[in-house]
Chain A
Amino acid sequence: MFGARDKARVASWHRWLGLGLTVPLAGWVVSAAVMMLVTMNAPNGLAGVYTLNPYNSVDVRLDEATVDPTAVLRKLATEHGIKRIYWLRLQSRGPHLWYVVKPTPYAQAMVFDARTGERLDPLADVLLQVVAGEALAGGRVAGLESATEYNRYYELDRVPVVRASIIGDQPATLIISRDEGRTLRRLNADSERFNWWYRTFHVNQLTDHIGLWTTLLFAAAFGVIALTLFGYMLFWWRRPGNASTALAARSRVLRQPSRNWHRKLGAVAGGVLALQLIVGAYLWISLGPLEDPFRGKASFSADWGAGFTTERSLDGPATVLARLSAVLPPSQKPVQAIEWRQLGEQDAWVVTSRMDEAPRVFAAATGVPIEALAPAVAGEIVRHEVVGKPSFIYAGTSPQLWMDLNRPVPTYQFRFDDPGRTDVYVAQNTGQIIQRRPFFWRMFGPFLAVHMFSFTGIQAVDVTFLALFQFAILGMIATGWRLQFPGTRDLREVRESDSPGASGSDA
């Protein structure tokens, strides 16, 4: 089937592919080791652990707002042509008092000064500096840098943000949206390091041109899979006892430790390497080019029409605070935020007493706390936010990480009958969607587990297994280079065994 010339050609391809793909292959292995070490004992993984600032640094009472919420609604209707909104929030930030309007669940927010009515978004750097300074306890802003950010909650592909460098008790980089100053991501030293190694050496995304770098990444991965295949072909052709492998050549092979190790390591780890590349390619398709459907953005309803109209009237902050004075916990500090929402058939007030705690929800009609919506009500609220408003089944409860608070919140899980068969996780008290997980994402777990060698769940076992695999790959690379560039002693030995009297040739 394969002649001597074909075999020589495959040997040449194997050699040059191996040499040429050394850098990406070694980069994947070394970066995997670094990422594993960085996150191995990190509490809360890449999300990190932060102490959020509980109170605004300036005691600003919400009832100091001179613009009432109904006036904001009228402004939205008359000046911006907005007929319905998702929610309206009054909040203090530093000395400022702002109304934040969320026109739809996935749109960028609008911000209005609650004392003048002036529109403030996109927020200027000077305002974002105030927001960033209020985010973490004991933090000061060292600098801001404009950027864009992918975020699963927004329909926009790239959300305008600033990267705020925070110094002080909790050094960090905060990714803060320009629309309302929402913290989209927090990076500490570990997650910064992880991110650098991941993007530079693991998925090779050196710039934001995802198409270009993904093409190069997949070409390299395909090259390594071909390299592995050629390696197994050579392994088979050069097996002892094969007619084309003379015994003298075989004995030469056995006397060359690097060739022997290369064969053995290749036979053990080559298949696993090829499997890992296929799995890794799937993971990158999910996290890279197809991130939108993966993160559930394909399930956004384009014709969302819930929330409440801008024609209606809302109770002002003074009324809300007076009605809830008996049920809110006593505090020296003023209430930090009030949010007006429609939860199914009822109006609700979502009140934040501390910025480091989940808000409390109250029925506006009665002032009674809502600890948790009925699952059917929560499901119906989010049904309007899923494309095609499909039917759904209730699938249980679970805590899910909410980035805004950087902690898990209790959620309901609903499985929708949309094209993506999306699981939607909904905060039990506010009806806020915390996470969307389409079928595409549900398939991700086993791929990731295989890629990270998370087979037993026992860290010592899994990490040892992964480390052995990584050493095997690095060993293959090292012995491959040794074969291409043998030392003078090896060369002499080869020359001697090739000399007259030492018969045979390698296939």
Chain B
Amino acid sequence: MSRVTPPTPEAVRNSRGDDAVRRWIALTNGDVAALLVGAALVLSMLTWFSWRMVQNVSGDRVVEAQTSAPLHVH
């Protein structure tokens, strides 16, 4: 049977530091990065959309979506 040795006060202080670092890594390495990518995608799409919309409604020429198929051909 093994005995569990209680941590020393110094070890507790160190582990607190480790937790903070681990927390920071988790935060910056994953979640915040994912959130930033998501926000960048949405902003890019909105910007691109606004640019195309201005082209379409202000000019004489309609810029068609570059799609292979017109959705409804009636």
Instruction: Give the interface of A toward B (CB within 8 A).
Output: 35, 39-42, 45-47, 149-153, 184-185, 194, 198, 235, 239-241, 247, 250, 254, 260, 263-265, 267-272, 275, 287, 295, 395-396, 401, 403, 413, 415, 423, 437, 439, 442-443, 445-450, 452, 454-455, 457, 459
| A152–B69 CB distance below 8 A | no
| A263–B34 CB distance below 8 A | yes
Instruction: Give the interface of B toward A (CB within 8 A).
Output: 19, 23, 26-27, 30-31, 34-35, 37-39, 41-42, 45-46, 48-49, 52-53, 56-57, 60-74
A449 and B65 contact, Cβ closer than 8 Å, known pairs A235-B35, A250-B26, A396-B60: yes
Within 8 Å by CB of A443, from B48, B56, B67, B68, lies B56
| A403–B67 CB distance below 8 A | no
Report the Cα distance A239→B26, complex, angstroms. 10
In the complex, what residues of A have CB within 8 A of residue B49's CB?
A: 446-447, 449-450
| B34–A264 CB distance below 8 A | yes
In the complex, what residues of A have CB within 8 A of residue B53's CB?
A: 443, 446
A42 and B69 contact, Cβ closer than 8 Å, known pairs A263-B34, A445-B62: yes
In the complex, what residues of B have CB within 8 A of residue A413's CB?
A: 60
| B74–A449 CB distance below 8 A | no
**CB proximity of B44 to chain A, nearest CB, Å:** 8
In the complex, what residues of B have CB within 8 A of residue A254's CB?
A: 26
A455 and B37 contact, Cβ closer than 8 Å, known pairs A46-B71, A442-B57: no
Known: A240-B26, A264-B30, A275-B46. 6 other contacts (CB 8 A): A239-B27, A272-B38, A437-B62, A443-B53, A443-B56, A446-B49
In the complex, what residues of A have CB within 8 A of residue B26's CB?
A: 240, 250, 254
In the complex, what residues of B have CB within 8 A of residue A263's CB?
A: 30-31, 34
Within 8 Å by CB of B38, from A46, A267, A455, lies A267
Scoring B19, B37, B46, B56 by chain A CB atoms within 10 A of each residue's CB, the highest score goes to B56
| B73–A403 CB distance below 8 A | yes
| A439–B57 CB distance below 8 A | yes
Report the Cα distance A45→B68, complex, angstroms. 5
24 sample A-B contacts, Cβ–Cβ < 8 Å, listed by A number: A39-B67, A41-B68, A45-B67, A151-B74, A184-B74, A241-B23, A263-B34, A264-B31, A268-B38, A268-B41, A269-B41, A270-B38, A271-B39, A271-B42, A275-B45, A395-B60, A395-B61, A403-B73, A442-B56, A443-B53, A445-B52, A448-B65, A450-B45, A454-B67
In the complex, what residues of A have CB within 8 A of residue B68's CB?
A: 39-42, 45, 459
In the complex, what residues of A have CB within 8 A of residue B56's CB?
A: 442-443, 445-446
Within 8 Å by CB of B27, from A241, A268, A270, A445, lies A241
